Amino acid sequence: MESEWATFHSTIVEAAATSCGCKAAGAGCGSNPHTQWWTPEVREAIRLKKEAYRSWLVCGSPEAADRGITLLSLPGKVYARVLEKRIRSIVEPLIEEQQCRFCPGCGTKDQLFTLAGVLEGGWEFAQPVHMCFVDLEKAYDRVPRSMLWGVLQEYGVDGPLIRAVQSLYRRSRSLVQIAGCKSDSLPVRVGLHQGCPLSPVLFLTFMDRISRRSQGVEGVEFGGQKISSLLFADDIVLLAPSNRDLQHMLGRFATECEAAGMRISTSKSESMVLT
């Protein structure tokens, strides 16, 4: 624990200030959160964050669309945010610009602007644009954790930082609550923590690797700029000048998704062509 404190002391105050005052669910929110952090007990709070993290509460119903949600105490949120800042500073410069989710200053408007430009170019140069809108099925819940640790290493995250992230997922458990009744807790060995400040950057890195490994020579090109895909978290659009090229792109992407434990949702994926 002392080594963790020495590693994260420089960012703990900033992360605490960011997390304080939140109204999200979880133990530790309320009263005057700022005063809670300017005390010697902060080190003990950080030590206890792991236990708060290992307990999940899944508020569900019989519907298949229900997802788990991680309810974090304030110390747990601060610790996760400290890790997020450290990891983001390492991996964000390596993330491809096609990804606009979980990236500061980027959003849906950027992807819409780019896609509109591609379609206008297709009209202007009489070049067909073949598109496939791909959705991944419960992508957060399918991320293989053992593979994720390797991906983080590939992107330059060092061993101590990876072990700090692993500590949040070690012995994590889940329970289901339906109509006021709670099930016994169950071990959870796959997937990211829903609602955790750290999960977006982990998922961003994982998806970037899939996107990079599935790239080929295909893509639409206007003004010397070639675009083969646009991503918004786990929502992807593949762009190609022909149906054959689009099939090749989709095949490679599906292969990489399968190798990474992901599954394409055929019911939510659609293709279209602009001629």
107 and 172 fall within a common domain: no
Highest mean pLDDT among 86-100, 121-135, 207-221, 256-270: 256-270
- pLDDT tens sequence across 115-138: 787 888 778 777 888 989 999 988
The C-alpha atoms of residue 273 and residue 246 are separated, in whole angstroms, by: 10
241 and 218 fall within a common domain: yes
Per the domain annotation, does 21 fall within a domain? Answer: yes
148 and 259 fall within a common domain: no
The C-alpha atoms of residue 119 and residue 275 are separated, in whole angstroms, by: 9
230 pLDDT band (50/70/90 cuts)?
confident
38 and 60 fall within a common domain: yes
pLDDT of residue 216: 77
43 and 130 fall within a common domain: no
100 and 182 fall within a common domain: no
pLDDT of residue 63: 46
Tokens of 247: 């099939």
Number of domains observed in the structure of the chain: 2
Per the domain annotation, does 200 fall within a domain? Answer: no
Per the domain annotation, does 197 fall within a domain? Answer: no
pLDDT of residue 99: 75
pLDDT of residue 72: 67
- Give the residue numbers spanning the domain of 174: 2-93+143-191
User: What is residue 227's three-state secondary structure?
Assistant: strand
Task: Provide mean pLDDT across the span 190-199.
Answer: 87
Per the domain annotation, does 112 fall within a domain? Answer: yes
128 and 32 fall within a common domain: no
Per the domain annotation, does 158 fall within a domain? Answer: yes
Q: Which helix (H) or strand (E) holds 182?
A: strand 181-182
In 3D, which of 90, 119, 88 has the Cα closest to residue 103?
A: 88
In this predicted model, which residue has the larger pLDDT, 218 or 142?
A: 142
Residue 248 in contact with residue 130, Cβ under 8 Å? no
In this predicted model, which residue has the larger pLDDT, 113 or 130?
A: 130
41 and 89 fall within a common domain: yes
pLDDT of residue 74: 75
Task: Provide mean pLDDT across the span 90-102.
Answer: 80
66 and 18 fall within a common domain: yes
- pLDDT tens sequence across 136-192: 988 888 999 999 999 999 999 988 999 999 988 887 777 777 777 888 877 888 888
Specify the CATH number for the domain of residue 135: 3.30.70
The C-alpha atoms of residue 74 and residue 83 are separated, in whole angstroms, by: 14
Q: Is residue 92 over pLDDT 60? A: yes
Q: Is residue 61 over pLDDT 50? A: no
Per the domain annotation, does 201 fall within a domain? Answer: no
